[in-house]
Structures are given as C-alpha cells and as structure tokens.
A and B are shown apart, each in its own frame.
Chain A
Amino acid sequence: MSIQTSMPIISMRHVDKHFGQLHVLRDINLDVAKGEVVVLIGPSGSGKSTLCRTINRLETIDSGEILFEGKPLPQEGKELAAMRAEIGMVFQSFNLFAHKTILDNVTMGPVEVLHRPRKEAEAEAMELLDRVGVAAQAHKVPAQLSGGQQQRVAIARSLAMHPKAMLFDEPTSALDPEMINEVLDVMVELAGMGMTMVVVTHEMNFARRVSNRVVFMADGQIVEQNTPDEFFDHPKSERAKDFLDSIKGH
C-alpha cells in the first residue's frame, strides 16, 4: 500500500515521558501520514495508551515534541481545546456522558464546541447514528445500551466533530466477543473512507486487513515497525516474536 510522503499529519520527535521513576516513553519517533492507519501493539504496560494519549495531550510529555499538521501541540487553554477538537478519541471504556441521551452525546461537541445550531447538529447526529447502526437508540441513555452499541455511539460522537485524525485506545477490549465485530466493522469502514487512524489493539485480523503499518512497542520503546503482513509473518525482534507467540496462544 502506498502512502503519500507529504508532510505527516502527526509527528512525534524524540518524545520522552516518565511517570515518577517509571520511564514510560523512551525516545519515541513516529510519523503518521494523512489517511494512514497505524496499529500500535505490544505487551501490557509497554506504553501504548500513554503514547496514544500524548497525541491529543491528555498526557503531557517531558521532552521532545509532537506536531499536529506541522504545528506543535498547544500547551493549554483555548488553543489546546481547539486542537483537540480536530482529533477524535475513542476509549476502551466508551466514556459516554451518562446523564445525556445518545443523541445529546453526539450533539454535545458540535453544539458546545463548534457552535452549530442544535437542529442542524441533531440532523447530522441522526445520520451518524444511522451509519453506525444505533439510530433506534437515539433517545435512550447510555446505560440502556450494550457495550458494542455504546462504543459505536462513542465513534459517532467523535465523527460528529469531523476530526482530521482519530485515536483508538483498545476500542474492543472491554466488549463481549460477539460485539467486537460490530465495532470493528465501523472502524474498517472509516479506514476505507480515508480516515487517519492510530489504533491500539490486539485484533490481528483487523490489523492485517486494514492497517498500513504495525508499530510494536515494548518497555516504552518502539522496537520494530513494518507492514502488517511482514510484521505478523516475519517479526524481526525476539521481543516481537515472544509477544506474537503469547497472543497466538489464545
């Protein structure tokens, strides 16, 4: 698969981060091109979530720099909020607003951040909910939906902001097995439409089918990266081989 080599949309340069004594990100260098789908994979505690969260500054970094569309991430305030509005994020635990209906969850961003008229935002939200297959649940509250439905709403909520890139942190890990595919299907469709995506996941089928690149992390470092077929079939590092053996065992 060929990805245009113009300016990357996300660019991490020599990024380091500690949690106290723990060195969670070590000299991370990662470029993500527009329209690229990058899967982050690695053992538990290797820093995948942390890396993902530094991209929209839910985690700060100690040193190095992160550029979004060539510009350094703003540090705080309105500028930071405006930058976050352009990057969608989907969490492992859905994180829907529990006191709002599904429809209100999806219109929250457009109405409160983009100041779109409510009617218009609701019309678009209904289209998005329809696209992810939960339009019938629009007037329920999150607790009434299954995990798979909630996660699809969370994706719709991100999409309503027309993000330029999306981050997914183990979007299917909290789901019952029979619900995983309904969420992955939505993500496959998104990738097909050219969305730039950084996805932390252990779903190897998804990675093979959709991603342009697999980035393998261990102990806070990027150990190797390659096309999915190369990575899964011919891992180079011992750590990656061990890791792949361990998850194939399941």
Chain B
Amino acid sequence: MSATVSMRDALYEAPGPKTRKRVLVGTAISLVLLALGIAFVIRQFYINDQLNPKYWSFFGRWTTWRFLLKGLWGTIKVAATAGVIAMALGLLLMLGRISPNKLLSSACHVITEIFRSLPSLLLIYFFFLVIPKYGIRMPSFWMITIPVSLAASGVLAEVFRAGVNAVPKGQVEAAMSLGMTHGKITRKIVLPQALKIVIPSLVSQLVVVVKDTTVAYVVSYPDLMQNARVLISNYDALVSMYFVVAIIYIAINYATNQFSVYLAHRMGTQVVSRMDENPV
C-alpha cells in the first residue's frame, strides 16, 4: 500500500522542463519585487524620520518587552478561553441543529445565524454598554471573551455542520438499518469522522478568534493591542510599535496555522501507519 499522496501532489502534476524554467523566472521576479518593496518601506521610514532612534530605542528595554509580553499573555488567555467556549458552544449548536427535534433544531439554527451574522464588535458593545445598565457587572476579561466566543461559536457550528455533511450519507443509513438510534449514530459514526475532516478549518477559525481579541481595548482589557496602545502614547512611537505588534500577531497566527498543518498531517499519517501494520 503506497503512502497517501499529499494535497500538493494530488493537485499539480510533476513539473516538466518548461514549467521548471517558468517557475525559476517567476521566483526571480518575485524576489526582486520583494527586495524593492522592503527598500521602499525603509526609504519611507527614513523620509518620515521613522528610523530615528527615539522611536526604536525603547525596544531595547526589558520593561517594554515585559509589558508587551503581559499583553500577549492577555491575548492568549482571551483567545484560548474564547476558542474553547466557542468550540463547545458551536458543537452544541450544531448537534441541536441536526437533532430530529424540530423545535430544538430551528432554535439552534436561528441562534447560529444570529451569532454568525452579528459583527463581534457589536456583541462587545452589547456586553460593555448594555448589560452593565441592567446591573450585571463582569470583569473586562469576560466582557471581551464572551462576545468573541459567541461570534465564533456561530461560525464553528457551521464548520462542524459542514464536517457532518461530509460524512457519506450511506454510512448513516447503514447504521440506521442496524437499528442504531440518532444519538448513537451521531456519537459512533458521524462525529468521529466529521471532527477529523474539520480540524484544518477549525484551526483557521481560531486564527479569526485571535484577531477578534484585538478589539479588547474597547473594554480596556490589557491584551497585546491595548498594551501596545499604552506604549504608543508613552513613547509617541506609533509606526514602530504597530510594526512590531503586527509581526507578533503574524507570528502567533503562523504558529496556529502550522499547528493545523501538523495536526492534519498527523491524522493523515495515522491512517497510513495503520495500513502499514497490515499490508494487503
């Protein structure tokens, strides 16, 4: 049994000599453009005096980094908590929606659509401005985490549902004809396969959660963005600070994506190694 083909191999045929030449030329042109782009940015920084040491020297101080790291930790806490809540809630909403109970199903459908279509900022304002009016006080951590969770849960419910729909219907019918009930079929046949299918989209959705947390400043929760804003006003260093923060966000999301690639790969190889155990 041969190993599974990677997505790349499946989508593209092996390049011939002409294609190889074209790829080479393309790569060269891209590199030149990239270098030009970087040169342009540096030039603009220079022209606008953004390379002035006063905008960068505070990055040499430990306190700056400690403050940013504290913010980063805040971001990670919110994103991780929101991610877990959103996944649990999204799963529940999806399970409700596919349930044979019509009332439960339509209720979950409506809730999913609401969470999915409301901008998370609107939900945040609701928790920040409206709810306190009715005497409900909650720490700023929850004022950002709950709305971000709710918004993401709507999307995740749809992601899970896509996974459930991707499980061949015939397997469900086979399980039904064995006399399995809806709940058993969901647990034993559908979910195990659906979850495997959705892992990559699940992780890319978590990237969106991380990005959603950047509006935490609205509720003054000290996340990475909020702390960066504090530093910006202290040092009057707008461009350099945003530049560094952007790189940190890119790094987090790159790491998240790599994790999804790793997971998908691991699950793929699991099947392969199982096949190797019992060669045909």
Task: State in angstroms the CA–CA spacing of A64 and B171 once bound together.
Answer: 29
- Cβ-based interface call for B184 (8 A): yes
Task: State in angstroms the CA–CA spacing of A82 and B196 once bound together.
Answer: 30
Interface string of A37-61 (1 = CB under 8 A from B): 0000000000000000000101000
B83 shortest CB reach to chain A, Å: 25
Asked whether A96 lies within 8 Å of B174 as measured between CB atoms, the reply is yes
Task: State in angstroms the CA–CA spacing of A99 and B190 once bound together.
Answer: 10
| Contact pick for B178, options A139, A157, A167, CB 8 Å | A157
Query: How large, as a class, is the contact surface on chain B?
Result: 20 to 34
Asked whether A112 lies within 8 Å of B188 as measured between CB atoms, the reply is yes
B30 shortest CB reach to chain A, Å: 40
- Cβ-based interface call for A95 (8 A): yes
Task: State in angstroms the CA–CA spacing of A90 and B58 once bound together.
Answer: 72
Q: Which residues of A contact B181 (CB under 8 A)?
A: 77-78, 81
Asked whether A108 lies within 8 Å of B175 as measured between CB atoms, the reply is yes
Asked whether A161 lies within 8 Å of B168 as measured between CB atoms, the reply is no
Task: State in angstroms the CA–CA spacing of A58 and B174 once bound together.
Answer: 10
Asked whether A141 lies within 8 Å of B174 as measured between CB atoms, the reply is no
Query: How large, as a class, is the contact surface on chain A?
Result: 35 or more
Q: Which residues of B contact A108 (CB under 8 A)?
A: 175, 178, 180, 188
**Total cross-chain contacts (CB, 8 A):** 82
Asked whether A97 lies within 8 Å of B179 as measured between CB atoms, the reply is no
The residue among B100, B178, B184, B193 with the most chain A CB atoms within 10 A of its own CB is B178
Asked whether B174 lies within 8 Å of A95 as measured between CB atoms, the reply is yes
Task: State in angstroms the CA–CA spacing of A139 and B274 once bound together.
Answer: 10
Asked whether A91 lies within 8 Å of B170 as measured between CB atoms, the reply is yes
B124 shortest CB reach to chain A, Å: 39
- Cβ-based interface call for B192 (8 A): yes
Q: Which residues of B contact A158 (CB under 8 A)?
A: 177-178
- Cβ-based interface call for B1 (8 A): yes
- Cβ-based interface call for A247 (8 A): no
Known A112-B180, A144-B275; contact A95-B280, beta-carbon cutoff 8 A: no
Asked whether A97 lies within 8 Å of B189 as measured between CB atoms, the reply is yes
Known A144-B278, A144-B280; contact A84-B170, beta-carbon cutoff 8 A: no
Asked whether A99 lies within 8 Å of B180 as measured between CB atoms, the reply is no
Interface string of A70-97 (1 = CB under 8 A from B): 0000001110011111111101011111
Task: State in angstroms the CA–CA spacing of A161 and B277 once bound together.
Answer: 29
| Contact pick for A139, options B171, B175, B176, B278, CB 8 Å | B278
Known A95-B168, A99-B192; contact A89-B177, beta-carbon cutoff 8 A: yes
Task: State in angstroms the CA–CA spacing of A141 and B270 once bound together.
Answer: 12
- Cβ-based interface call for B271 (8 A): yes
Asked whether B177 lies within 8 Å of A112 as measured between CB atoms, the reply is no
A132 shortest CB reach to chain B, Å: 16
| Contact pick for A56, options B171, B177, B275, CB 8 Å | B177
- Cβ-based interface call for B113 (8 A): no
Q: Which residues of A contact B196 (CB under 8 A)?
A: 99
Task: State in angstroms the CA–CA spacing of A56 and B176 once bound together.
Answer: 9
Task: State in angstroms the CA–CA spacing of A98 and B167 once bound together.
Answer: 9
Task: State in angstroms the CA–CA spacing of A157 and B178 once bound together.
Answer: 9
- Cβ-based interface call for B173 (8 A): yes
- Closest chain B residue to A56, Cβ basis: B177
Asked whether B278 lies within 8 Å of A140 as measured between CB atoms, the reply is yes
Known A112-B188, A144-B275, A144-B280; contact A81-B179, beta-carbon cutoff 8 A: yes
- Closest chain A residue to B188, Cβ basis: A112
Asked whether B193 lies within 8 Å of A85 as measured between CB atoms, the reply is no
Shortest Cβ-Cβ A-B pairs, 3 listed: A85-B179, A95-B170, A89-B177
8 A-B residue pairings within 8 Å (CB atoms)? A56-B177, A58-B177, A85-B178, A91-B173, A95-B174, A98-B168, A144-B275, A161-B179
Q: A85-B179, A109-B178 are in contact. List 4 more A-B contacts (CB 8 A).
A: A91-B173, A95-B173, A112-B188, A157-B174
Instruction: Please report A residues at the B interface, Cβ cutoff 8 Å.
Output: 56, 58, 76-78, 81-89, 91, 93-99, 108-109, 112-113, 139-141, 144, 154, 157-158, 161, 167
